[in-house]
Amino acid sequence: MNALDWILFGFAAFVVGLLVLHVWTRVRRILAFSVERTSRPEALVDAELLYVEKLFRVSEPVNLVAKLDRAYRTPSGLIVLLEFKTRRMRRPFRSDVIQLSAQRMALAGQTHQTVAPYAYVVVKTPDKAARCTAHRVQLMPEEVVVGLVRRREDILSNRAEPRYAESKAMCRTCAFRSACDTPHLAAFRHR
């Protein structure tokens, strides 16, 4: 092979490499699109995926920053939030509702778009089968979210006393349980 043949061979290999890369990128995009479509709740099948892993901020009536998992625009124009959770218990928690309510407030405040008063929590089990269960949850009104934010600020600045958790189960995973003096925590202190 002479030098011209090597140049042509190298150019052809480069073009083939670009084509393979292009095909691989398109296949990955199609697979990702397919996985995204199958993870949607039935009610969002016809919705347009609007935001993925996006951060929103609002400063009035309180400072709030929220990163949402997904937001969809329904054919009617309403934006519906969706949050993914991986856990053994296939149900939404109150903390999910609080998180989504804060996301709703931040998204609506920053974009001035209409966000649904409900959202979906899609719970995936951590096993290999990874079954997903979608739960529709009712979100908190803005004034309740504002109240929670202000209460948190008051607790952190020592203007208000924190309250004990309503259940022992919540105490088991609390970061402050070693400093807590609630009687029902005695069993957990030495673990």
Residues 28 and 47 in one domain: no
Residues 139 and 68 in one domain: yes
So what's the pLDDT on residue 19?
81
87: helix, strand or coil: coil
Burial label, 98 (beta-carbon count in 10 A; 0-12, 13-18, 19+): middle
Residues 75 and 115 in one domain: yes
Overall domain count for the chain: 3
Minimum mean pLDDT range among 20-24, 50-54, 109-113: 20-24
Mean pLDDT over residues 153-168, rounded?
A: 81
The model's pTM is 0.71
Residue keyed to tokens 């995973």:
173
* Cβ–Cβ under 8 Å, residues 108 and 119: no
Residues 14 and 76 in one domain: no
Percent of the chain with pLDDT over 70: 86
Residues 66 and 105 in one domain: yes
Residues 92 and 135 in one domain: yes
Residues 56 and 6 in one domain: no
Residue-wise pLDDT tens digits, 71-110: 999 999 999 999 999 888 888 998 899 999 999 999 999 9
End-to-end CA distance of the chain: 74
Mean pLDDT over residues 173-188, rounded?
A: 63
What is the span of the domain harbouring residue 4? 1-38
Residues 132 and 184 in one domain: no
Residues 61 and 148 in one domain: yes
